[in-house]
Structure 1
């Protein structure tokens, strides 16, 4: 954490739009990065760790940003990599040796290993449902497709969608309601 607070005092190169300092960068992207990391790790602490490490890496390696892509794309890729690293670390830390466990006392309670994968039927149903939803979403007019993607896939708030699309908040809300209604009608017609 000390390294992170030292990094917060850095100034960022001009190739990073809208970020005069690391503090302004943190304020702009922290909640979005946390939602992304939480979706990947499924754990609050791991998501926080991934965000902290992402922001630290961006602060210390900002000079490596070449501007060949959008800054948000570069930042998101770093966050995804950090969240996956946290996930791998957690799995590695949870490893249990069955040989040691089974070689122990018979007084210990036995446990059952369960297959965490979905059943073939459940996997098939989930895949079909996802494919149907994607097909119906692509049939929506572009302005409604964008709203659905930003709000549900990217998990942006109404205010963030408003800022991204340069619309008023009531417009975003009404388009979101219309998009959901159109999507529901298409899904019902497809089934």
Structure 2
């Protein structure tokens, strides 16, 4: 069955077919969640939350956009909501710190588990790239993840984010420039570890 047939089966009450939707999108959803959380367990929990929302809302899907666009929009909104909640908690926890202490405060979370997407963290180089992407502002992190890791077109990304395609092109250009500047400072034996040109 193609995606449309699977969705119609689910909408007709055959929810056992939902596992096919999970299989098709689990790695991409997890990849985006990991880019936002930088933590394996948090990304797993966030991915489950995304698919639970999809499960509950799929009966309302009207085929007015691609299924992938609809799923990525739910995923992105869930990730952004998660980050806002975490930042609010962090703000409360650090409210007694001075501004100088707060500026230097870092929370390091180590993940030694192998992730489903080998290309993200299969080796030290890709882990370093992930960390740099994680440090980007959300608007750049999102387009980099969608374009380079989820292999979405400018048009599809623009539809998910509800912004003009030209804005996506500009954000990608700026995101790559920031990454290239950061990566150019990381040198091994006199050579950059990774070239961000594409």
User: Under TM normalisation by the shorter chain, which class is it?
Assistant: 0.3 to 0.5
Q: TM-score, normalised by structure 2?
A: 0.43
Q: TM-score, normalised by structure 1?
A: 0.45
